[in-house]
Amino acid sequence: MRAQSPVAPKNGFPWRYARPAVALSLLLFATPSGFGGPAAFDSSRLAELYERMSAPQYAIGTKLVSLLGISPGSSVLDLGCGTGQLTSAIARIAGPRGNVLGMDPSSYRIAIAERRARKGLSFAVGGSDDLPRLAPRSFDVVCLNYVFHWIDDRRQALEAIHRILKPGGKLGISFEDTSRPAELDEIIEQSAKEVLGTLPPGLFLETAPLGLAPLKEMLRKSGFQVVVIEKVASEDRAKSPEELLAFWRASSAGRFLSGVSESTRRRILHRIEQRLAAAETGQGIRITSETLLLVAVRSGAPEMQARSAGSLGKRCRVINRASRR
C-alpha cells in the first residue's frame, strides 16, 4: 500500500528540486521492496534486539568505510542502514557540510535510526527498488554493509546504484561468500529436513548464494571497476544456542524460518538448538567466517581506473579478527 503522501526524512535531507541537488524524490511505501521483503516480518522488538547485537556488523562496516576514503562534505547513501549506527559514523566523517542518508525497508529500524538524525544526517524508509526514484548522479559514495545478499534482483540494484553515483563515485559492499556451504548453514538445513522431511518452497533458511566471481562479473556488466578486495577472517563465539538464534532472527528482520506455521517454526528451532548445543564448548559456540570487503568505482574516473590496473586493483590482504557475534 502506498503512503498517502511523500515522506521526507528528518533534518530536511535535500530532495530532487532542493539545493544542493543531491536530492531524493522518493514516494515511500508502507512496505518497501527490494530486500526480499524483510520489512514484512520485522517488529519493534526485533529492531531493538538488532540494535544491541549488531556490533560485529558495525565493526566490519567501519573497515569498509575506511577503504571507501569518505571525505568531509561528501554525499553518501547507506543502503540497508538498519538502526543507523554505521550511518552515524559515516556522518561524523562527512561532517555538517556533507549529506548522509540512511535507507532501510524496515520502518521499525528507521524509527531507531532517526534518534541519531542531525544536521547532515537523515533517514528514510526505502529499499533497493526505490533507488530509481533518487536523482541521478546524487552521491559520491554508496555503502552496503552486509546488505547486498538480501537483494533479490542484484543486477537491477547495481544498475540503479550506477545511475545515482557521480562519475568516479565509489560503491562499497561487505558480504560473506555464501557460494560454499558453511557448517552452521548445514545445521540449519538438516534440522529443517529432519522436522519436515522435505523443504517447502516457502520456507526461508538463507538468501540466494553470493560469490565473489559472480559479483565481480555483475559489477563489470553494470559499469563498475573493482579496485579493492580485502578479506577479513573472523572467529566469533555465541554464548549459547539461544543467543545465536536470537541474532539470526534479529539480523534477518524476522525472516529467518518464515514461510511455515508458528508451531512448525518452533519445532525446527528446537532441533537447531539441539544440534547447536552438541557443538557448544565451555567457551560457547565457535563461529568462523570470511568477510569480503569490496570497493568499486563508477565508470568515468580515468585516474582511479588507471590505479586499478596497478597494485591497487590487485590488492587483497587477509586480516585476522577475533570477536564475538
187 shares a domain with 97: no
Residue 105, φ and ψ in degrees, nearest 5: -75, -10
H or E element in which residue 294 lies: strand 285-298
228 shares a domain with 277: no
> Does 40 map to a domain?
no
Rounded to the nearest angstrom, the gap between the alpha carbon of residue 84 and the centroid of all alpha carbons in its chain is 11
Rg, Å, the chain Cα set: 20
Strands in 47-116 per DSSP E: 75-79, 99-104
pLDDT at res. 180: 62
Count how many domains the chain has: 2
> Does 35 map to a domain?
no
Find residue 295's DSSP bridge partners.
Answer: 172, 228
120 Rama sector, left if φ>0, alpha if ψ -120 to 50, beta otherwise: left
> Does 197 map to a domain?
yes
Domain span at 203: 180-208+240-283
C-beta of residue 232 within 8 angstroms of C-beta of residue 289: no
- Could you identify the residue written with the cell 524483510? 38
156 shares a domain with 122: yes
pTM of the predicted protein model: 0.82
Question: Regarding beta strands 285-298 and 165-176, do their DSSP bridges make them parallel or antiparallel, or are they unpaired?
Answer: antiparallel
Indicate the SS3 state at residue 226: strand
Nearest to 237 by CA among 283, 183, 182: 283
C-beta of residue 178 within 8 angstroms of C-beta of residue 215: no
User: 276 to each of 10, 151, 320, how far by Cα in Å?
Assistant: 43, 28, 25
CATH code for position 116? 3.40.50.150
Distance between CA atoms of 150 and 50, rounded to whole angstroms?
Answer: 16
170 shares a domain with 96: yes
Distance between CA atoms of 71 and 90, rounded to whole angstroms?
Answer: 10
Distance between CA atoms of 225 and 300, rounded to whole angstroms?
Answer: 10
Residue 44, φ and ψ in degrees, nearest 5: -65, -35
218 shares a domain with 126: yes
204 shares a domain with 215: no
Residue 295, φ and ψ in degrees, nearest 5: -120, 130
User: 270 to each of 125, 195, 262, 283, how far by Cα in Å?
Assistant: 34, 10, 12, 21
pLDDT per residue rounded down to tens, the chain (325 residues): 222 223 344 443 333 322 222 333 332 333 344 554 556 899 999 999 999 999 999 999 999 999 999 999 999 999 999 999 999 999 999 999 999 999 999 999 999 999 999 999 999 999 999 999 999 999 999 999 999 999 999 999 999 999 999 999 999 999 988 766 678 888 999 999 999 999 998 999 888 889 999 999 999 999 999 999 999 988 888 899 999 999 999 999 999 999 999 999 999 999 999 999 988 888 888 888 889 999 999 985 433 443 443 434 444 444 444 443 3
> Does 157 map to a domain?
yes
> Does 37 map to a domain?
no
H or E element in which residue 214 lies: helix 212-221
303 shares a domain with 273: no
